[in-house]
Amino acid sequence: MNRTVGSEIKTLVICVDRDNDIGEKAGLKTPIIGKEASLSAATKLALADPEDSDVNAIFEAIRLCEQLKSTEENARVEIVLVAGDKNAGVDADRKIGEELEKVLSKTAVESAILVSDGAEDEWIIPILGSRVKIDSVRRVVVKQSEQLESTFYLIKRLFEDPKFSRTFLPPVGIILFLLALSLVFNLSDKAVGIILAFLGIYILLKGLGHENVMVDFIEDMKQALYSGKISFVTYICALVLLIAGSFQGIMEMPETSESILVDMVYYIKGAIWWYVGAALAPLIGKMMNMLIEGEKIVRQWAILFSVIASGLILWGGSECVILLAGNHHLLGYLYLFLSLLGAIILSFMGVTISRYVKGTVIGKEEVEIEAEAAMK
């Protein structure tokens, strides 16, 4: 049974069960104080689940408490079991903090020794350390599974870390999705080239600091849908064009190829204009929304022409490589030169239009300000 800790206790041996197996499996309420109550709790938990590692932690806490009493003269040591919540996380830590406050408020404890069954329970060390001085931390893990449990917990913590999961999981998920598609459509021989192309794009976006572009794209779609804007339809068009371009790029890849680079060049040639259309669709949708709402389109003109220019460069470059591979050097260089020239002209046109519109808007605003000043 639970009992009140005495005010004369100097050292507490605290056994932590962060996921509350004591309550969920043995049906006991915490905090549990004292050797006899702890022995009873360990026995009930062992009968409910003999494989639970918390049983070992409780027995180790009891053993440590008895050891301190036998080795220290006039030792004032007591054991206490505290538990969190089955869902772990913030709720568990708060519950453990509340139970510690109840125990510590009734005694002048000078120090504590923490006993846990693994790294997860040790997550509450800052909580305990903010309330009482910690003299020692004892981890009790079944010897056969110590490395396995530590590795499992490390992996679990990595996947719970938002920075790691958002960086690592999306590319892995897309790679697995592409592999599945290649198997479904009997295109497994093209899978390596597609995956390498995807990884190249992801690394490029990561280097430029735009690795969350897909997440932002989905968020923009949701906002466009909820606000009833026409750009939602253009976002759907962009997705369709993106998928269609991917399949078109796959179909353009030769059946037999001597290198992955050649496969990627054919893929770019077949898919690039579909991808350009996918990039332009949301932009055009946004421009249409701005026209409907009476806003001036300024910066979007430069972006529109820049996207087309980028597509022209990639298309001309892929054509150049294909022609060079076929020993058509002069024609290949001509394609590359014309595509670069066209891209420069398009970029210049976009910047010029944007500056012209911007100058018109600024001039109109100045006229309106002067008119308002004259009226005053």
pLDDT in tens, 109-138: 778 888 877 656 567 777 777 778 887 777
Query: Using CA atoms, how far apart are residues 56 and 141, in angstroms rounded to an integer?
Result: 8
Instruction: Report the range of poorest mean pLDDT among 201-215, 222-236, 267-281, 361-375.
Output: 361-375
* 3-class SS of residue 318: helix
* Mean per-residue pLDDT, 341-345: 92
Residue 6 included in any domain = no
Cα dihedral across residues 133, 136, 142, 145: positive or negative: positive
Rounded to an integer, the average pLDDT of 199-205 is 68
> Does a structural domain hold residue 108?
yes
* Same domain membership, residue 185 and residue 130: no
Question: Does residue 285 belong to any structural domain of this protein?
Answer: yes
For residue 1, the model assigns a pLDDT of: 44
Same domain, 25 and 78: yes
Last residue of a domain, one of 127, 152, 177: 152
Domain that holds residue 38: 11-152
Is there a contact between 132 and 12 (Cβ–Cβ < 8 Å)? yes
Range from 24-38, 255-269, 320-334 carrying the lowest mean pLDDT: 255-269
Distance, in Å, from the CA atom of 251 to the CA atom of 266, rounded to the nearest integer, reads: 9
Q: How confident is the model over 198-218, as a mean pLDDT?
A: 64
pLDDT > 90? residue 183: no
> Same domain for 191 and 99?
no
Same domain, 144 and 289: no
Q: What is the pLDDT of residue 338?
A: 92
Domain total of the chain: 2
> Of 110, 132, 152, at which residue does a domain stop?
152
H helix or E strand, kind and range, residue 94? helix 89-104
How far out from the chain centre does Cα 117 lie? 29
Higher pLDDT, 362 or 16: 16
The Cα–Cα gap between 63 and 108 comes to 23
CB neighbour class for 253 (10 Å; exposed up to 12, middle 13-18, buried from 19): buried
Is 1 within a domain? no
If you average pLDDT over every residue of the chain, what do you get?
Answer: 77
CB 17 within 8 A of CB 81: yes
Is 281 within a domain?
Answer: yes
| Residue at a domain's end among 122, 152, 182 | 152
**Residues 146 and 184 occupy one common structural domain:** no
